[in-house]
């Protein structure tokens, strides 16, 4: 969980660092509402290890690292990962 670095998101949630199933890591900072950004920043420590669902341009099964990840939802229904 990282703080935003643009004037619009400074002082609130900016992006997730996501570890894909193949071990590659990408940052997902698009697709969040301002309400989500405020909420996620307030509870940032509890979000570490959670799964997220995101939309990507590439098929993750065919490439090592996906491009243009966009947040869809937080998967609190799944057990936390490593």
CA atoms within 13 A on the CB side of 38: 3
pLDDT recorded at residue 82: 60
Q: Looking at the predicted structure, is the pLDDT value of residue 67 above 70? A: yes
The mean pLDDT value for 44-56 works out to: 93
The number of beta carbons lying within 10 Å of the beta carbon of residue 29 is 19
Q: Looking at the predicted structure, is the pLDDT value of residue 14 above 80? A: yes
User: In this structure, are residues 58 and 82 in contact, taking their beta carbons and an 8 Å threshold?
Assistant: no
Q: Looking at the predicted structure, is the pLDDT value of residue 61 above 80? A: no
pLDDT recorded at residue 21: 83
The mean pLDDT value for 39-59 works out to: 92
Banded pLDDT at 8 (limits 50, 70, 90): confident
């Amino acid at each position: 969980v990282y703080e935003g670095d643009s004037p619009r998101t400074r002082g609130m949630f900016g992006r997730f660092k996501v570890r894909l199933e193949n071990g590659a890591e990408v940052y997902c900072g698009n697709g969040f509402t301002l309400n989500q950004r405020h909420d996620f920043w307030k509870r940032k420590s509890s979000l570490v290890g959670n799964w997220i669902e995101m939309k990507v341009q590439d098929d993750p099964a065919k490439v090592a690292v996906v491009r243009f990840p966009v947040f869809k939802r937080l998967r609190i229904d799944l057990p936390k990962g490593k």
